[in-house]
Amino acid sequence: MTPPALPRERLRVAIQKSGRLSDPARDLLASCGLTWRESRDKLFCYGESLPVDLLLVRDDDIPGLIADGVCDLGIVGRNVMVEHELERQGNGHAPALTEIRELGWGSCRLDIAIGEDQPWTGPEQLAGLRIATSYPRTLGRWLGEQGVDASVVTLSGSVEIAPRLGQADVVCDLVSSGGTLAANQLRPVETLLHSEAVVAGPAQPLEDARGELADLLLRRMDGALRLKETRLLMLRAPRAELPQVLTKLPEGHEPTILQVEGHDEVSVQMLCHAAVTWQRLEDLKRAGARQLMVLPVEGMLA
């Protein structure tokens, strides 16, 4: 049974020390207005702008630190979180973590991959085979759901070369671009889990001062994530061409339209929810717009 976390006045957030989620996580937290003073070993960062501290650890350690109450939140891959929770379940423990936010980056898939020249008829083809993976519990759950009896070979790394070394017949591995699989003459055929970076927290809500800090941080994260792709589109157009221009505007907030003094034209400003493409700008220009500008938005308060 996980002991209750001791009351604390400061929020602790665990992130990956190094790896593909490390820099985006630090950038996100910095965009929330957080600043830190790093310890000499660069494993602990003391929050200066807010009482929010960072622990820089291995990604596989983040779920356990939250479950044990050492940390309050963590930025981790869903794949790591799911594997940890399935291990707890297998050991007879209650769920310890919950996924609080999807972050929209670090996307990957946990896929079954077979030889690129092998035919694929479905999961039943895996019966009696050896499957190499670093996610044995996630794979075991999926095999059970499919009613397939196969051997799970647990490896901590270099899963994709297991068939060439004679350790396994097929693999179950994380796939981003698919380049590593292709380099090892493998192709993905089944997806077990879609993963991305998420904010993970304890299954039970934080009830002391950390709860308010967590809510504040999550609100800032939501704002920072919305701003990441937000752009300010500005243009001018003859008033007679305005209806046609408005039909070409991208998705976003209601545009602000102002009369240009001394001219029979208007100025249009609009917050767009995503990047504004060159094609979109060319369509607007053909519709009658001119002096088009797309600007980044560094801060916004509704």
Average pLDDT, integer, range 165-193: 93
Q: Determine the Cα–Cα distance for residues 177 and 30; give it in Å rounded to an integer.
A: 28
Give the Å distances, CA to CA, from 83 to 35, 193, 224, 258: 32, 11, 29, 55
Q: What's the pLDDT band for 8 if we cut at 50, 70, 90?
A: confident
More confident residue, 81 or 177: 81
What is the model's pLDDT at position 65? 96
Q: What's the pLDDT band for 4 if we cut at 50, 70, 90?
A: low
The answer to whether residue 1 scores a pLDDT higher than 60 is no
Q: How is residue 174 written in tokens?
A: 């994380």
Q: What's the pLDDT band for 219 if we cut at 50, 70, 90?
A: very high
The torsion angles phi and psi of 22, rounded to 5 degrees, stand at -65, -60
Q: Is residue 175 part of a domain?
A: yes
More confident residue, 109 or 273: 109
Residue whose C-alpha is closest to residue 226's, from 104, 108, 106, 76? 104
Q: Is residue 2 part of a domain?
A: no
Domain match, 237 and 275 both: yes
Domain match, 93 and 165 both: no
Average pLDDT, integer, range 96-103: 95
Containing domain of residue 54, as a range?
11-105+197-227
Average pLDDT, integer, range 3-15: 77
Report the predicted TM-score, pTM, of the whole model to 2 decimal places.
0.78
Domain ends where: 178, 195, 212?
Answer: 195
User: pLDDT tens digit string along 248-286?
Assistant: 999 888 999 999 998 999 999 999 987 788 999 999 999
What is the model's pLDDT at position 92? 94
Q: Is residue 5 part of a domain?
A: no
The answer to whether residue 32 scores a pLDDT higher than 70 is yes
The answer to whether residue 2 scores a pLDDT higher than 70 is no
Q: Is residue 209 part of a domain?
A: yes
Q: Which residue has the tokens 């297991």?
A: 162
Average pLDDT, integer, range 29-35: 92
Q: What's the pLDDT band for 56 if we cut at 50, 70, 90?
A: very high
Average pLDDT, integer, range 295-299: 81
What is the model's pLDDT at position 170? 96
Residues in the chain: 302
Q: How is residue 122 written in tokens?
A: 């479905």
Give the least confident one: 60-69, 92-101, 226-235: 226-235
pLDDT over 70, % of the chain: 96
Q: How is residue 149 written in tokens?
A: 């009896």
According to DSSP, the β-strands at 151-154 and 73-77 are: unpaired
Whether the Cβ atoms of residue 63 and residue 72 lie closer than 8 Å to each other: no
The answer to whether residue 237 scores a pLDDT higher than 80 is yes
List the strands of the sheet with 52-57, edge to edge. 36-38, 44-47, 52-57, 11-16, 73-77, 197-202, 97-102
The residue type found at 275 is A
Interhelix angle for 209-228 vs 22-31, to 10°?
100
CATH number at residue 245: 3.30.70.120
Q: Is residue 3 part of a domain?
A: no
Domain match, 211 and 63 both: yes
In sequence order, the β-bridge partners of residue 56 are 15
Cα angle for residues 60, 164, 174 (degrees, 5° grid): 30
Whether the Cβ atoms of residue 202 and residue 67 lie closer than 8 Å to each other: yes
DSSP annotation of 147 reads T
What is the model's pLDDT at position 15? 97
Burial class (CB in 10 A: 0-12, 13-18, 19+), 228: middle
What is the model's pLDDT at position 77? 96
Q: How is residue 262 written in tokens?
A: 């001394």
CATH number at residue 151: 3.40.190.10
Domain match, 17 and 101 both: yes
Average pLDDT, integer, range 140-146: 97
Domain match, 100 and 151 both: no
Domain match, 98 and 15 both: yes
Looking at the structure of the chain, the number of domains it has is 3
Domain match, 16 and 69 both: yes
> What integer best gives the mean pLDDT of the chain?
92
Q: Determine the Cα–Cα distance for residues 68 and 84; give it in Å rounded to an integer.
A: 12
What is the model's pLDDT at position 177? 83
Q: Determine the Cα–Cα distance for residues 193 and 195; give it in Å rounded to an integer.
A: 6
Give the least confident one: 55-59, 80-84, 103-107, 170-174: 103-107
Domain ends where: 195, 219, 253?
Answer: 195
